[in-house]
Chain A
């Protein structure tokens, strides 16, 4: 959800302020040092029990800071109500802000809040928080019994959620929103025309002439931000070449980009471009999304934040539906793996005065009731199972359906989070491929070259993934 860049004046000013910090580090360092006296550990603990797994003390209070961004903060107030129902004698002090880092970082070393939603453009760098030991591992939260269903909290989470919150082998971050990516289409239109949403590229290429005959472009994409088309290209690579090939790519293994299946995946996209199936012109994310809503194009690929983002301009009768990214067909290694993952992370600072209540609050956030409210209010899935089951929304329902049929493995790439150079290069090459200035072979060669360069650069700290 934080994947919606708005290059507006405010963003620029924020960057300018950040750039200012580069030249005025003194001010930043000084203010970073200004803190207050460490707080007293508030609850030495009540009796731990099945119903009170962290030993929350009655009469204590818990301070919760929510990021008030695209998802709003109403859902958090609902969670507070859920929490209060079971713990009426614990005071919840909730506040919401968009400036997490600005407001919370200076307090982290001395007197942090108990629960911090570390999200948005102004978030605290997560690897730094982990490396500095500033946040609490939350293994005991995963092992605790679920708030209002059978089993443990871990049992209630959607696949990938634990993995996405795990750093250096420990679970630190509770990502509460679940994003599913894929190809969006207008189900009402497809029904009217008798079109079937394709499952493979071949089916898409067969359908494309019919779409064109209606005066529509088959496909539109965001040409400004290279990471938009990159999701689609990488999803095809995963489906075609399989998980192990992607793990090799992320681990900078020699000739990983030249593995079987990678090139054919990109060639499918090259064909889509060469056959002129794209809407003419180069648009940014909201422009391309609006063009799709206006019926200028049949498909757009995106994550589930789309509906919330475009809520104000969806024409009446338009029925947003999400379908899985297309696969290449029979030879694919993982044709049904879905591109999905958890985001919008909540952390508990190590120095938080009331960690027991903090974890208890998170247990309430991950409750069945809280998650259902979350999905209802934000039109996004929560990262717990079945949060969207009772929401009357075709977009959310289709995402929910996609997830419930998904195999255990989820499409996930790590290299662009590991290495900024590869992030930039893959964005650029994705945009070039979609603009028709690059062939699939050149893409593969370019990425391999960039990966080799990173691998041999001793100034870059290497990271690895195993699963």
Chain B
């Protein structure tokens, strides 16, 4: 009997596993292989160069710059997205007034949910193209146009948005503007995720807290947040992956894909340039492998740090 089950399971899994091995794992292995060569990408000529490409990574100024930009997103994207998503989820689920019907969200929370979730429905490229119009750096841009009408921005000197490399808090302004889009487009999804988690917290926990005289502030920090720990931790890892990517936004929105003058360069944009314009596939593969290793280490560390005993309810 057991034998039959094994065969049954095998039958189902063999094909997907084979596909996965062939289309995902094997290319990764190949990329790792190419990263040890000087392959140019357009011929079948390649020479084994050992770890030379990896050594080069550490002395590459552009990569260093791109790395710190990715680190900026790695810190800010999860931080701001989760903070905003938690705040919204809290308001929509338990932030409203309490009455005989018990705890509920603010008035009209169903509608807000749809509105906040909406960006998630759009593909990132559509989002980027839309924000291009919002950020347009002359009087026809949405933000510039409105601010010029009410006299807050000089028509001779519009806000430059994607064209602004001037540092704000030590980080080029263009990165902050990109961050705003990333947070705006991501917060809705995590709001829904956190809402679902909040709804699984028994209402009587909240009601007991309110009877004990806890205000919204204390309810949130003493009850909601600790009970959402697992969900937040997972969200943090997902957002970390997104922050390490950011490619679509940078590619569509910034001048010269990573400009102005490298001010918004990230790992993926340098990789793209190295592989497809410089024709150094070997070196580009090394970048990809390095990024993959970094991501895995980060996820492992994250899970380790946040691991705690679960609370059963």
Residues of B contacting A27 in the complex (Cβ-Cβ under 8 angstroms): 23
Binding site for B on A (CB under 8 A): 7-9, 12, 15, 18-19, 22-27, 125, 128, 131-132, 223-226, 276, 279-283, 287, 291, 420-421, 423-424, 427-429, 431-432, 435, 437, 459
Q: How far is the CA of A22 from the CA of B163 in the complex (A)?
A: 30
Given A19-B272, A24-B23, A24-B27; A226-B163 close (CB under 8 Å): no
B119 at the interface (CB under 8 A from A): no
| B159 CB → nearest A CB, Å | 10
What would be 8 A-B contacts, judged by CB atoms less than 8 Å apart? A9-B123, A226-B256, A283-B136, A291-B138, A428-B259, A429-B261, A431-B261, A437-B261
Query: Is there an interface contact between A25 and B34, defined as CB atoms closer than 8 Å?
Result: yes
Q: How far is the CA of A466 from the CA of B248 in the complex (A)?
A: 41
Q: How far is the CA of A283 from the CA of B157 in the complex (A)?
A: 13
Given A281-B137, A282-B137, A424-B256; A12-B160 close (CB under 8 Å): no
B173 at the interface (CB under 8 A from A): no
Residue of A18, A25, A125, A224 near B255 (CB, 8 A) is A224
Residue of B137, B276, B278, B285 near A421 (CB, 8 A) is B278
Query: Is there an interface contact between B256 and A22, defined as CB atoms closer than 8 Å?
Result: no
B279 at the interface (CB under 8 A from A): yes
Residues of B contacting A423 in the complex (Cβ-Cβ under 8 angstroms): 277
| A358 CB → nearest B CB, Å | 24
| B311 CB → nearest A CB, Å | 41
Query: Is there an interface contact between A12 and B261, defined as CB atoms closer than 8 Å?
Result: no
Residue of B27, B42, B256 near A128 (CB, 8 A) is B42
B78 at the interface (CB under 8 A from A): no
Query: Is there an interface contact between B43 and A128, defined as CB atoms closer than 8 Å?
Result: yes
| A462 CB → nearest B CB, Å | 14
Residues of B contacting A428 in the complex (Cβ-Cβ under 8 angstroms): 256, 259-262
Chain A CB within 10 Å, residue with most, of B260, B272, B273: B260
| A327 CB → nearest B CB, Å | 28
Query: Is there an interface contact between B125 and A9, defined as CB atoms closer than 8 Å?
Result: yes
Query: Is there an interface contact between A280 and B157, defined as CB atoms closer than 8 Å?
Result: yes
Known: A223-B163, A282-B138. 7 other contacts (CB 8 A): A22-B285, A25-B27, A26-B27, A132-B43, A225-B255, A225-B256, A281-B139
Residues of B contacting A24 in the complex (Cβ-Cβ under 8 angstroms): 23, 27
Residues of B contacting A420 in the complex (Cβ-Cβ under 8 angstroms): 273, 277-279
Residues of B contacting A19 in the complex (Cβ-Cβ under 8 angstroms): 272, 275
Number of interface residues of B (CB under 8 A): 50
How does the 8 Å CB contact mask read for B246-283 relative to A, with 1 for contact and 0 for none?
Answer: 00100110011001111000000000110111111100
Given A282-B137, A283-B137; A26-B30 close (CB under 8 Å): yes
| B158 CB → nearest A CB, Å | 5
Residues of B contacting A437 in the complex (Cβ-Cβ under 8 angstroms): 165, 260-261
Query: Is there an interface contact between B278 and A9, defined as CB atoms closer than 8 Å?
Result: no
Residues of B contacting A25 in the complex (Cβ-Cβ under 8 angstroms): 27, 30-31, 34
Identify the closest chain B residue to A7 (Cβ): B252
| A32 CB → nearest B CB, Å | 10
Given A280-B157, A281-B139; A12-B252 close (CB under 8 Å): yes
Residue of A9, A281, A459 near B38 (CB, 8 A) is A459
Query: Is there an interface contact between A435 and B260, defined as CB atoms closer than 8 Å?
Result: yes
How does the 8 Å CB contact mask read for B121-160 relative to A, with 1 for contact and 0 for none?
Answer: 0010110010000001111100010000000000111101
Query: Is there an interface contact between B28 and A23, defined as CB atoms closer than 8 Å?
Result: yes
Query: Is there an interface contact between A431 and B23, defined as CB atoms closer than 8 Å?
Result: no
| B152 CB → nearest A CB, Å | 15
| B252 CB → nearest A CB, Å | 6
Give 9 closest A-B pairs by Cβ, nearest first: A281-B138, A282-B137, A420-B278, A282-B163, A428-B261, A420-B277, A224-B255, A23-B27, A128-B42
Query: Is there an interface contact between B160 and A424, defined as CB atoms closer than 8 Å?
Result: no
B244 at the interface (CB under 8 A from A): no
Residues of A contacting B126 in the complex (Cβ-Cβ under 8 angstroms): 9
Q: How far is the CA of A120 from the CA of B221 in the complex (A)?
A: 58
| A285 CB → nearest B CB, Å | 11
B178 at the interface (CB under 8 A from A): no
Residues of B contacting A280 in the complex (Cβ-Cβ under 8 angstroms): 138, 155-158
B48 at the interface (CB under 8 A from A): no
Q: How far is the CA of A423 from the CA of B257 in the complex (A)?
A: 13
| B161 CB → nearest A CB, Å | 8
Identify the closest chain A residue to B31 (Cβ): A23
Q: How far is the CA of A423 from the CA of B276 in the complex (A)?
A: 13
Residues of B contacting A18 in the complex (Cβ-Cβ under 8 angstroms): 276
B96 at the interface (CB under 8 A from A): no
Q: How far is the CA of A286 from the CA of B22 in the complex (A)?
A: 43
Residues of A contacting B276 in the complex (Cβ-Cβ under 8 angstroms): 15, 18
B105 at the interface (CB under 8 A from A): no
Residues of A contacting B123 in the complex (Cβ-Cβ under 8 angstroms): 9
